[in-house]
Structures are given as structure tokens and as C-alpha cells.
Amino acid sequence: MVVSGGPASLGGGCLGTFTSLLLLAWTATLSAARIPVPPACGKPQQLNRVVGGEDSTDNEWPWVVSIQKNGTHHCAGSLLTSRWVITAAHCFKDNLNKPSLFSVLLGAWQLGNPGSRSQKVGVAWVQPHPMYSWKEGAHADIALVRLEHSIQFSERVLPICLPDASIHLPPNTHCWISGWGSIQDGVPLPHPQTLQKLKVPIIDSEVCSRLYWRGAGHEAITEDMLCAGYLEGERDACLGDSGGPLMCQVDGAWLLAGIISWGEGCAERNRPGVYISLSAHRSWVEKIVQGVQLRGRAQGSGALRAPSPGSGAAARS
């Protein structure tokens, strides 16, 4: 708005300035109103082979994404916000500076039939944890993937929550894993590549450390790792599941408890899956990702619960 000058128009100038300020405030209010409020994390809006797993239902895990390399499924990941996905750092070994090789497919239940409501987005850059050493089975195997542009949330594309400081995972807590990885060692998920799910119990960290014991000073299970699965084998994550979520439900919301990282073989006896704990790296994620949502246990609520519905140290990408 143009405000007239000169002594004769002093009053009009003040009024004009006041009007301008009102217009600016009104415009700012409208702009703020247009900023979409992100949906609540960890809550699927609609519910219509991991080794030994079963087909998930459509829209059951709307935060699980396929990270693709040269157009082919490579790893899984989880959506945190409209611009950030979290996955395993080892998925980008030797390709960290080549983000153009990768894309992220969101909202796809079947990779062979992603549907018109799925979204495919390029990768702007990848931020691995600074403590990750790029060795198989290393600690801090976690990376944040910045998408080239914001995605549109829908019933098929929603964020998952991170656990807040109130969350602890005692042994035998039942959680879930999900992914499009091999259904057996060397056997890829058949067409149409339907997203698989598997319920897995948390394994006591001391038990897991003994199972993977490599001698004093060479502990395989570090403080930021979780173990989950079945000591008898037969059910587990496998090749292609790397970076996918270990999910636990607390007070009606799904939390990302861990990231699929490594294991010895797939579903072998006394070789459970190993996951990177999000509780151990929550502060690092919060420093980088604006708007990530945290959830915990409501005061006085009980233990974590899951509804009933369903590789040599090798990275599982």
C-alpha cells in the first residue's frame, strides 16, 4: 500500500500505516492457516515375507517405505515427517554421495502394483550417523534421508512416532517388523511383492550378547542395539528388510522402537535379528529433523502391548 507524504497528510499517513500493519497481520494469519498440520503419528487411519511372516493388510503400516536403488527395491525405511525418512546407514555404503541413484516409494502395499495413490520421491541427500563406521554389524547403523520435496499425507502415507524417554522395552515385549525382503535366504518375495509383517518378542540384551559373543573386547551387541525374534529360528527379517521398522504399540500409537540392522543368516537358530535402538539415538534425530513427533506411555498405563491381528554377520539390505 502506498502512503501519501507531506505535512497535510500526516493524519492519513498514520492511518495508512496502521491499516498496512493490520493487512500484514491478516496476511500472516492467512499464511499460517494454510500451513498443513501434520497428522498424528503412529495411527493408521484406515485398515481394510519377512521369513515366516504373513501378508499385511492394505494401509496397515502407512509409514513403511521402499528405498529403491536404480528403480529396484533395496531397503525399507520409515516416514518421520513430510520431508524425512529414517533407515539403516549401511543401505548407502559406497553410494553416500550418489543420491540420484535412490528414490523413495511411499504408500505402496504391493511393490508390483503400487497403485495410483502411491508417491515416488527423489532423495536430496543422506545423513548417516557420525559414529557409524561403515562396517557390517557396526553400532549407530542409522541414517536420515532428506526427500527432494515434501510428500502429501494420506491414509496410505502417514508418519510414525519416535519413543520418548518414558519408553522401555522389557524382554518378551511383543512388537512387529515389516518389509519386502526375502522370504528365505536367497528366495526373494514373489510377485506382487506384498508387504510382509511378523510379530517378534524383544530378547533380553544379556541373552543376545551371549548368543553373539565374540570374545572380551569384541562385543557384537553394543549399547544401542536391540535383539528381537525367536531363538528357535524359522521367523526373522532377511535380505532386503534392512532399514525397516521394529514397531511397538503404546496407548494406541505405533512407535519406532528400532531399525532392522543385521543378523547372522536369516531365521537361523540362536541368531535373532539385531536392531538399532531409537531410544539411544532420539536426541540425534531431533537435532536434524524438524517436526518429528514423540509419544510415550500415558501416566499409569501398563506395559507395551501389540494387538493380535501377524546371514556371517550380514547387513540385511
- Per-residue pLDDT of 157-174, as tens digits, reads 999 999 999 999 999 999
**192 within some domain:** yes
**301 within some domain:** no
Helix %, strand %, coil % for the chain, to 5? 15, 30, 55
- Checking if the pLDDT of 47 tops 90, the result is no
Give the residue, 96 or 51, on which the prediction is more confident. Answer: 96
Domain count, the chain: 1
**62 within some domain:** yes
**8 within some domain:** no
**164 within some domain:** yes
Alpha helices in 58-196 (DSSP H): none
Residues with catalytic roles: 90, 141, 242
Residue range 71-81, pLDDT digits in tens: 999 999 999 99
| Alpha-carbon torsion (192, 54, 147, 143), positive or negative | negative
Residue range 66-118, pLDDT digits in tens: 999 999 999 999 999 999 999 999 999 999 999 999 999 999 999 999 988 99
pTM: 0.81
**Averaged pLDDT for residues 209-228:** 86
124: containing domain? 53-293
Give the residue, 126 or 183, on which the prediction is more confident. Answer: 126
Please state, for a pLDDT cut of 70, what percent of the chain lies above it: 78
Residue range 127-157, pLDDT digits in tens: 999 999 999 899 999 999 999 999 999 999 9
State residue 216's pLDDT score: 63
State residue 183's pLDDT score: 86
Give the distance between the most distant pair of CA atoms in the chain.
92
DSSP per-residue letters across 44-77: -S-----BT-EEPPTTSSTTEEEEEETTEEEEEE
- Checking if the pLDDT of 298 tops 70, the result is no
**259 within some domain:** yes
The domain that contains 220 carries what CATH number? Answer: 2.40.10.10
**38 within some domain:** no
**4 within some domain:** no
